[in-house]
Amino acid sequence: MIRAHEAQAIREAEAPLLAATPTDALMTHAAFAVATAVLEELDRLGARRSGTTVLLLVGGGNNGGDALYAGAYLARRGLQVAAALCTDRPHERGLAAARRARVRTHDVLDAAGRPREELLTVLADRAGVWLDGLTGIGARGALREPLAGIVTALADRRAAMPDEPTVVAVDVPSGIGVDDGTVAGPVLRADVTVTMGAAKPGLLARPAEALAGRLVVVDIGLGLGEAALARLGPADVADLLRPPLPTDHKYTRGVLGLVAGSTTYPGAAVLAAAGALRTGVGMVRYLGPEGPTRLVHERFPEVVAGSGRVQAWAAGSGVDPADEGRAEDVRDALRRALADGLPAVLDAGALALAPERLPATVVLTPHAGELAQLLTERGERTSRADVEAAPLPAARRAAALTGATVLLKGATTVVAAPGGTTLTQADGGPWLATAGTGDVLAGVLGALLAQRAEDLAGGGDPDGALTAELAAAAALLHGRAGTRASAGGPVTALTVADALPGVVADVLASP
């Protein structure tokens, strides 16, 4: 599991460590890790170290110091290193160390504090690696001048170069929202981000995550408390799954009540059932019209049509809220879930039918447009663009307003529980953006809730922590099934569902 901590928590954890260690000891440790990451990236790319020039982009504060010390290490390893001093107050000891190692330093600001763009361009063109040490976790909001102009000029120059340089960010790419993943202004997109102490939430949430590249977390011995955000790995999901025991039968393995599909969208019933069955639920009970029921039985004769005892519900996939008959079916399923204290998934058409407040064991699964509508209906005027610009805060706000756990679908899935537990997953790929895959995800999540219903039912998860982890686990399984089904090419929703058993097996075998 990757655990991310906000900037203030990092600073508070660093304070006693800084007081107990020699001057710049932590900085030189961090700088060595950055230099090592640069060398490893060059090796990965097959580049000759002796023929590579590294450009340090040096801002004020500790990040600039990290970059300067890293440059000194790299220069001693035989690389050509130049430093573009983008501040009139560079870290003094770091600057001295860099100069002792024969790093060439250049003041790229003129007497008025404006960038010397011609000099910056010359330095940038000569370098195969740019090391971004302009700002760190103390920065807030969009970059201000002169750094905004410097980053904009570098990004434009990089885009025009026939062979783009590799960019390695120190701690965070300069300009991102460290705690919320927003991007309020120019950011120099990194290929690798070497982050100190722990990941930061902005490195695991869109849109900033897309600018961070490969993430390297450097342990510097911080005593950190509860994470602000987490990301599950296969071993974490294996701990959440409930593989069958020799004594199990179909009822003890979880029974999912499914209200999905309609005369207009009959295929959603098949896809949601496929997601649940392929994830390993003991039984699916399907409630729907004759047409979708027939389609489900043609594909999955093991599905039981009609009502009966269930451990969890999944409702709304392929349901138009304007279809009063199906809308009432969704409302009835939700009433039963609430009355019996059972977990539930509300997808697609069910979102518009949900009451104002829900328990944390109900998971809402909107995409950005649906979440914008949900927030607007609850008095917070929001557009799809607003949600896409700040998905992490939007999902958290929706969880607080509704009391439910929210799974916001997207390139990076955000899961937020009303008690504060937040996770993000980025296990799929762009080929998953195709019709019906959300219906499969609803079935996967419904299956996981049914399998763990004993831990969730009757108020067993009041703050939604376990529910949120199960939702994140569903996103991981679904994303990895999409990747397996794609193999680099297009997928359909059913091929994603068909890949689930192999993914579940791989996850359960995780060390």
CA end-to-end distance (rounded Å), the chain: 13
Q: Name the strand (E) or helix (H) holding 20.
A: helix 7-20
Q: How far is CA 508 from CA 234, 237, 239, 477, 511, in A?
A: 8, 8, 8, 11, 9
Of 334, 326, 333, nearest to 268 by C-alpha is: 326
Question: What are the residues facing 258 on neighbouring strands?
Answer: 286, 314
Sign of CA dihedral 259, 265, 266, 267: negative
Q: Name the strand (E) or helix (H) holding 422.
A: strand 422-425
pLDDT at residue 338 in the model: 96
| SS percent in the chain: helix, strand, coil, step 5 | 45, 15, 40
Quick: pLDDT tens for 276-312.
999 999 999 999 999 999 999 999 999 999 999 999 9
Residue 50 pLDDT exceeds 80:
no
Residue 372 pLDDT exceeds 80:
yes
Sequence-ordered list of residues with C-beta below 8 angstroms from that of 434, at least 6 positions apart, any chain? 490, 491, 492, 493
Pairing of strands 192-196, 214-218: parallel
Residue 49 banded pLDDT, cuts 50, 70, 90: confident
Which whole number is the average pLDDT over 213-241? 95
> CA-CA distance, 446 to 280, in Å (whole number)?
11
Of 288, 313, 402, 306, nearest to 355 by C-alpha is: 402
Residue 51 banded pLDDT, cuts 50, 70, 90: confident
Burial of 337 from C-beta contacts in 10 A (0-12 / 13-18 / 19+)? buried
> CA-CA distance, 228 to 322, in Å (whole number)?
39
Question: What are the residues facing 313 on neighbouring strands?
Answer: 257, 344
Query: Is residue 496 a contact partner of residue 278, using CB atoms and an 8 Å limit?
Result: no
pLDDT at residue 108 in the model: 96
Which whole number is the average pLDDT over 208-236? 95
Average pLDDT value for the chain? 96
Domains and CATH numbers, the chain: 2-230 (3.40.50.10260), 234-508 (3.40.1190.20)
Summarize the annotated binding site for (6S)-NADPHX as residue ranges: 62-66, 136-142, 171, 268, 318, 367, 439
Residue 5 banded pLDDT, cuts 50, 70, 90: very high
How many separate helices (H) and strands (E) can be counted in the chain? Answer: 17, 18
Residue 459 pLDDT exceeds 90:
no
Q: Give one DSSP letter per residue of 204-221, joined into a string.
A: SSTTGGGGT-EEEEE---
> CA-CA distance, 52 to 79, in Å (whole number)?
6
Sign of CA dihedral 334, 338, 340, 345: positive
Summarize the annotated binding site for K(+) as residue ranges: 63, 132, 174
Question: What are the residues facing 285 on neighbouring strands?
Answer: 257, 304
Quick: pLDDT tens for 116-145.
999 999 999 999 999 999 999 988 899 999
Summarize the annotated binding site as residue ranges: 62-66, 132, 136-142, 171, 174, 268, 318, 367, 409-413, 438-439
Lowest-pLDDT choice from 46-50, 246-250, 333-337, 446-450: 46-50
Task: Give residue 339's identity as a one-letter amino acid code.
Answer: A
> CA-CA distance, 428 to 83, in Å (whole number)?
38
Which whole number is the average pLDDT over 486-498? 97
The two structure tokens encoding residue 439:
């219906």
Give phi and psi for 436, each to the nearest 5. Answer: 95, -15
Of 432, 8, 45, 431, nearest to 214 by C-alpha is: 45
Which whole number is the average pLDDT over 374-378? 96
Residue 222 pLDDT exceeds 80:
yes
Residue 47 pLDDT exceeds 90:
no
pLDDT at residue 48 in the model: 82
For 431, the 3-state DSSP assignment is helix
Summarize the annotated binding site for AMP as residue ranges: 409-413, 438
Sequence-ordered list of residues with C-beta below 8 angstroms from that of 505, at least 6 positions apart, any chain? none
Does the pTM surpass 0.75? The reply is yes
Sequence-ordered list of residues with C-beta below 8 angstroms from that of 173, at least 6 positions apart, any chain? 132, 187, 188, 189, 190, 193, 208, 211, 212
Which whole number is the average pLDDT over 257-269? 96
Which whole number is the average pLDDT over 408-415? 97
Quick: pLDDT tens for 240-256.
999 999 999 999 999 99
pLDDT at residue 348 in the model: 96
